[in-house]
Amino acid sequence: MKKKWKVIILLSLLVLIAGAVFASIRISERGIVIVQTGKVARMDLTAVVTASGEIKPKNYINIGAAQGPAPITALLVKEGDHVKKGQVLARLENVQPEADLKAQQAALNSALADSSASEANVKSSDDNIAVALAQVDHDQADVAQKKVDLKRNQDLFDAKLIAAQDFEAKKVTYDLAVATLQESERKVEQAKAERAQAAAQLASSQKKVAQEEAMVSRTANVLSEYDAIAPLDGVVTDLPVRVGETVVPGIMSSTSSIIMTIADMSVITAEVHVDETDIVSVKLDQPADVTIDAIPDKIFKGRVIEIGDTAIVRSTGVSASQSQTSSQEAKDFKVVLALDIPQDEVRPGLSCTAKITTATRSHAIAIPIQALTIRQKGQLEQPKPGQKQQLDPAALKAAKEEIQGVFVVNNGKAKFREVKTGITGATDIEVLSGLKDGDQIVTGSYQVIRTLRNEAKVKVDNKAAFAAPSGSVSG
């Protein structure tokens, strides 16, 4: 019996000792927070801005009617056709301008005929002047000869060697030659006057020809405006009309004025809208990966070629500067990316998503984004036991100053440490100061990071990290 009691007493003592040990452990663990941790490490980081939008050609033109209103009589292309600059795309009814052109052409032909006749008259006058001048030269030579004969006969008459009637005959011959020369000179002047008149008529005819040519050119230009001409090489991307429909010129915002749209598909772009909080990171020539919803298995390379300066109200798509009222709604900015993509693989208007690489860091100190948290400066100070804080307004304001940092685990305690951060990657963020390689920091859970106190006792249990909800972010 004594042995039995000894065993019972021994077992009772063991139970009491175990209970005391368990109770002391429970008491010592009171106030300890269970946390998950990770190590500060170096890694390559890439900051990415994601935006959605649509595929657009770099250059596209809406083809409208220059004349009209007029019905469409012919559509010479169809949607999707490749066209060349200068190609006729469509024709409008042009009966009246075509008749006007024929009338002006007839008037031009008449003016050309009159000009040709005037030119012939000028040439004929030139010939007449030449003949008259030749006759004057002949008559001047004849007068010179008759003058010599008259002087010789004058000498013979004075010497009484010839009869008076012979001398008088020579004098009459000389006077007749002088009269003939004078008549020839008058004919030269008359021919020159006729030539001047013919030249004036020619100038008038040529002026009329020029006027008629201008009218023909103007009328032909008006007629040509009844044809829709391709202004560039491209693809017909929109053809909203049919033969017989009437188009109205001058109102490009109206669907009735647009015949078709020609897009230059040699440069394909993605026009995306970037959130106003991200636009400051986007710069020209930054690379981007673009995915198109209709081609989900391919990633296309691109680069930023244009950044909009005007905010766009997200709910309406209207420029904020054109909005009639001030709005606090979310705003976006237009960003255009040039894509390295064959034009035959895409169509304008396809939805796309762009991931623009705004910065990269190699071998940078980085931590998980969810490890970051915010604390007020006053929350980090440890008041002495029994000491009441009496803060003046300035000190109270300073105590409410918010500090960004992480909790570093050391000797079973979590100590808040202020950090300066750089670029943000997909799940990690660059640390510029405040941490070093190998530091053990609190990474979870989300609730613990939000409520954890500075200098709190912690217990690391990284097995619980697998049960943490995905997508948690710092508070």
Structure tokens at 217: 């050119």
Please give the CATH topology (third level) of the domain spanning 97-224: Helix Hairpins (1.10.287)
pLDDT at 126: 86
Structure tokens at 218: 């103007």
Q: How far apart are CA 276 and CA 49, in angstroms?
A: 11
Q: How far apart are CA 264 and CA 233, in angstroms?
A: 6
Residue spans in the chain of domains classed CATH 2.40.420.20: 31-46+363-383+390-467
Q: Are strands 420-424 and 428-433 parallel, antiparallel or unpaired?
A: antiparallel
DSSP state letter for 52: E
Half-sphere exposure of 322 (CA within 13 A, CB side): 8
pTM of the model: 0.62
CATH (residue range 31-46+363-383+390-467)? 2.40.420.20
CA distances from 302 to 103, 272, 346, 460 (A): 57, 12, 14, 45
Q: How far apart are CA 425 and CA 372, in angstroms?
A: 14
Residue spans in the chain of domains classed CATH 1.10.287.620: 97-224
Q: pLDDT tens, position by position, for the chain (475 residues)?
A: 556 666 676 666 676 666 555 544 454 445 688 999 999 999 999 999 999 999 988 888 888 877 778 888 899 999 888 899 999 999 988 888 888 889 989 998 998 998 898 888 889 888 888 888 898 899 888 888 888 888 888 888 888 888 888 888 888 888 888 888 888 889 889 888 888 888 888 888 889 989 989 998 998 888 888 888 999 888 898 888 899 888 887 655 555 678 888 988 888 999 999 999 999 999 999 999 999 999 988 999 999 999 999 888 887 877 776 665 556 778 899 999 999 888 778 888 899 999 999 999 999 999 999 999 999 888 777 655 555 555 567 777 777 888 999 999 998 899 999 999 999 888 999 999 999 988 999 998 888 998 899 889 999 988 855 444 433 333 2
> 383: burial class by Cβ within 10 Å (0-12, 13-18, 19+)?
exposed
CA distances from 259 to 21, 140, 234, 236, 255 (A): 91, 80, 15, 11, 8
DSSP 362-378: EEEEEEEGGG-EEEEHH
Q: How far apart are CA 323 and CA 469, in angstroms?
A: 42
Q: How far apart are CA 89 and CA 45, in angstroms?
A: 52
Residues 455 and 379 sit within 8 Å (Cβ to Cβ): no
Residues 39 and 409 sit within 8 Å (Cβ to Cβ): no
Q: How far apart are CA 47 and CA 49, in angstroms?
A: 7
Tell which CATH classification among 3.40.1280.10, 3.90.600.10, 3.30.9.10, 2.40.30.170 matches the domain 266-360: 2.40.30.170
